Amino acid sequence: MKDLFVKDTPLHIDNEIELLGWVETKRDHKKIIFLDIRDRTGIVQVVGDTRLADVSTEDVVKITGKVKKRPERLINPKIVTGEIEIEMTNIEIISKAAPLPIPIDTDGYEIDEEARFKYRYLDLRRARMTRNLVLRSQTLMFIRNFLTKKSFIEVETPILTKTTPEGARDFLVPSRLKKGQFYALPQSPQQYKQLLMVAGIERYFQIARCFRDEDPRKDRAYGEFTQLDIEMSFVTQEDIMSLTEDLFTSMVKELFPDKKISQTPWPRLSHSEVMKKYGTDKPDLRKDTNDPSELAFSWTIDFPLFTEQSDEDFYHGSGKAKFAPSHHMFTAPHPDDVTLLETDPMKVRGQQHDLILNGFEVGGGSIRIHDSKIQTKVFDLIGFSKDQQKQFAHMLEAFSYGVPPHGGIAPGIDRLLMALLGEPSVRELIAFPASSGGKIAVMDGPSKATDEQLAELGIRTIEVDN
Ligand code: ASP
């Protein structure tokens, strides 16, 4: 393992060091040749001689040399190593690089996305993308530390599971052991996290991968995304909102110090108020939308529990019911509105809270139903047949063995970071995203299965034009 990163070279003035990395640039003055050597942490200038003649950019090299302080007039304040340079004593070319198919010394927005995804391992070499991955890693680490200190525990839930009907289309995975049957990839760990509350875990979180077969948009990756999934027992909406506020306020302060949260405490606006005033449930409350440092967080609350069901709702088999859940079918009605479930369901308010940042919905959650009778009523209203309700028998049974009142939230990591950094797409925050056509980065997927694989699964396919 190498023990010296480029950013730390200035700590070794007048020492002999060994530098491992890529050649970012080469400036050939015949007898003297300059290289900039890059690693994940930055670049540093190397001064060498004709032994560098065969080196080309993006070669992987090992340089030995002495760290020298630069004369005052040659200091480059733009790079972290600008006060020093390395006087080369030796060079070893570890691996030659062919000319790159895409430039990596720009911010990359100008390059066609398909080319960037095909060569994602090169695209990620650019400083902006490396920075995004570093910030994402720091964000996850911050969240884990923050919640662990508050007595949360991280629990993993299955990826091969049964559908969690949250309003999107499922990805199905054929079962080999039970031919003709399918697992579904989780749209979120919603049911599992509620079952963990029945299990007495009380404070759960997970950096959870969620899978939804929805059409891509700029604020939504195709296929999969990552959520910070949180669930707590014995809580109110107030508790959930203040925990979230506390978490992200301290995270911004520590990891994104040049960003300014424009209003604290974060405004809480009722759904009806926000629709009347802004015509959307995710208002952009920034005072100046040209200011990249401004972060306007807000909450939208008091959503109606139901919306009119549309053809695109996947909650139901029949498509004939009038109501669809605004959030999902486990969201509890406002306690004052429970009787309206019988008389006027569209007037019932749900205990739902959406987290908004700069006009993007970056998270949503709710207090859950923990009373089987109310849950059954909601199933009825959204048009579940008795057979469909049987699919949730495990939830209702679990609730019969002593269930704490519970609730939670799930901020989307990709989308939160997109809004926070002002990136134009969530795909700028994901190492290997799928393209808008659903093609996975670098590898040529999806692809056909072999006849042997299909036979083992008991599946026959038909030829279609894609
Ligand atoms: N499971 C929900 C979602 O993915 C979040 C929640 O209700 O906690 O939107």
Residue 385: pLDDT over 80: yes
State the helix-helix crossing angle for 127-149 and 413-421, rounded to 10 degrees.
120
pLDDT score of 320: 61
Query: Average pLDDT for residues 325-329, to the nearest whole number?
Result: 91
Query: Average pLDDT for residues 386-390, to the nearest whole number?
Result: 85
Ligand 1 atom 4, closest CA? 188
pLDDT score of 333: 98
**Helix H or strand E segment including 337:** none
pLDDT score of 22: 98
Query: Average pLDDT for residues 175-202, to the nearest whole number?
Result: 96
Q: Which of 228, 328, 414 to mutate to test the pocket of ligand 1 (most atoms within 8 A of CB)?
A: 328
Taking CA atoms, 465 is separated from 300, 368, 403, 462, in Å, by: 43, 43, 50, 10
How many angstroms does the Cα of residue 261 sit away from the middle of ligand 1?
25
Number of Cβ within 10 Å of residue 51's Cβ equals 12
Q: In the sheet that 153-154 helps form, which strands lie side by side, from edge to edge?
A: 153-154, 203-212, 223-233, 406-411, 360-367, 352-357, 297-301, 268-270
Query: The domain 118-429: what is its CATH number?
Result: 3.30.930.10
Helix (H/G/I), strand (E/B), else coil: 83: coil
Q: What share of the chain is helix, strand, coil (3-state, %, to 5)?
A: 30, 30, 45
Q: Which of 161, 163, 190, 241 to mutate to test the pocket of ligand 1 (most atoms within 8 A of CB)?
A: 190
How many angstroms does the Cα of residue 212 sit away from the middle of ligand 1?
13
Ligand 1 atom 9, closest CA? 364
Which atom of ligand 1 is the closest one to the Cα of 187? Answer: 4
Residue 57: pLDDT over 90: yes
Q: Where are the beta strands (DSSP E) in 264-359?
A: 268-270, 294-295, 297-301, 306-308, 323-325, 352-357
Segment 221-244, tens digit of pLDDT: 889 999 999 999 999 999 999 999
Which atom of ligand 1 is the closest one to the Cα of 363? Answer: 9
DSSP 220: B
- Do 6-95 and 118-429 share a fold? no
Segment 61-71, tens digit of pLDDT: 999 999 999 99
Q: In angstroms, how far is the first alpha carbon of the chain from the final one? A: 46
How many angstroms does the Cα of residue 157 sit away from the middle of ligand 1?
14
Nearest by Cα to 167 from 313, 310, 304, 309: 313
How many angstroms does the Cα of residue 6 sit away from the middle of ligand 1?
42
Pocket of ligand 1 (CB under 6 A): 166, 188, 190, 364-366, 408-410
- How is the chain split into domains, by residue range? 6-95, 118-429
**Portion of the chain with pLDDT greater than 70, in percent:** 97
Residue 317: pLDDT over 50: no
pLDDT score of 311: 64
Q: CA 409, 259, 220, 448 torsion: positive or negative?
A: negative
pLDDT score of 436: 80
Residue 408: pLDDT over 80: yes
Taking CA atoms, 213 is separated from 62, 224, 317, in Å, by: 46, 8, 17
State the pairing for strand pair 182-184/172-174.
antiparallel
Residues with Cβ < 8 Å from 141, sequence gap 6 or more? Answer: none
Give this prediction's pTM: 0.95
pLDDT score of 281: 96
Query: Average pLDDT for residues 287-297, to the nearest whole number?
Result: 95
Q: Where are the alpha helices (DSSP H) in 290-371?
A: 340-343
Query: Average pLDDT for residues 6-13, to the nearest whole number?
Result: 98
Q: Cα-Cα-Cα-Cα dihedral of 87, 93, 96, 97, to 10°?
A: -30
How many angstroms does the Cα of residue 453 sit away from the middle of ligand 1?
35
Residue 251 in tokens? 């995270």
Indicate the CATH number of 6-95 among 3.90.1170.10, 3.40.1190.20, 2.40.50.140, 3.50.50.60: 2.40.50.140
pLDDT score of 164: 67
Residue 457: pLDDT over 60: yes
Tokens 């948009």 belong to which residue? 217
Segment 299-310, tens digit of pLDDT: 999 999 999 877
Reported as a pLDDT band with limits 50, 70 and 90, residue 313 is low
- φ, ψ at 132 (rounded to 5°): -60, -40
